[in-house]
Amino acid sequence: MDGNMNQAGLGWLIYALMTVAAWGVYGIFLHGGQIGMADPANGRYKAFLFVGIAYFLTAVLAPLAVLIVNGASWTFPMKGASLSLIAGVVGAIGAFCVLLAFGARGTPAVVMSIVFAGAPVVNAAVSMFQHPPAGGVGSVRWQFFAGIALAAVGGCLVTLYKPPPGPAKPPVAQAQPANRG
């Protein structure tokens, strides 16, 4: 990519694509963590505990270090703090609900397809409600509504026609210590 991407106004795209990559594997790792806890009753909650620890490490310590290094002021206006806190709660609720979906026999391929197809539809609706278009909803081009419909249909098709899983992998045999009796 061009070294002047930020100057061209496309630097956001790199970060957006990094988010796509991270969130694209999120459900897979989260489900793996739940299964890896080897606790059918509480594995999802144990996995979520570690998600919280990871959030603490990346969402508390990292920005704290950047703020200190940048010499930022330590004033936090109530509006920004409260909306940010709500965003964190909503995000954590979403992550928890993903785990609950896995616990109810949803698979990462299906659950995450629904999440990532449905979230843009919700985002578009809420954004249009918060910031109505200048000429009203009637001024919005048809391609926008087609994109929303395609996202919803795409999520539905991926869910309905996901490929069946392959054969189960045999468990890895663990080496037994030699009997030196």
For residues 148-159, average pLDDT = 87
**The pTM is what?**
0.74
Q: Is the pLDDT of residue 64 over 90?
A: yes
Looking at residue 59, its amino acid is: A
Q: What is the distance between the alpha carbons of residues 1 and 171, in angstroms, rounded to a whole number? A: 43
Which pLDDT score, from 0 to 100, does residue 162 have? 82
Per-state percent for the chain, helix, strand, coil, to nearest 5: 70, 0, 30
Higher pLDDT, 169 or 141: 141
Confidence of residue 169 (pLDDT cuts 50, 70, 90): confident
**How big is the chain, counted in residues?**
181
Nearest 5°: CA angle at 110, between 106 and 111? 60
Mean of pLDDT values over 126-150: 90
Q: Is the pLDDT of residue 31 over 70?
A: yes
Instruction: Give the per-residue pLDDT at 113.
Output: 86
CA atoms within 13 A on the CB side of 112: 15
Within 10 Å of residue 42's Cβ, how many Cβ atoms?
A: 12
Q: Is the pLDDT of residue 108 over 80?
A: yes
> pLDDT digits over 114-128, tens only?
898 888 889 888 998
Task: Calculate the alpha carbon distances from 78 to 66, 67, 81, 103 in Å.
Answer: 21, 18, 5, 37
Reply yes or no on whether the pLDDT at 2 is more than 50: no
- Between 10 and 3, where is the model more confident? 10
Task: Check residues 180 and 50 and name the one with the higher pLDDT.
Answer: 50
* Side-chain-side CA neighbours of residue 135 (13 Å): 4
- Tokens standing for 49? 């505990």
CA distance 172 to 181: 26
Residue 55 has pLDDT above 60, yes or no: yes
Q: Which residue has the tokens 């919700």?
A: 122
Q: Could you tell me which of 102, 98, 94 has the C-alpha nearest to residue 35? A: 102
What does the mean pLDDT of the chain come to?
86
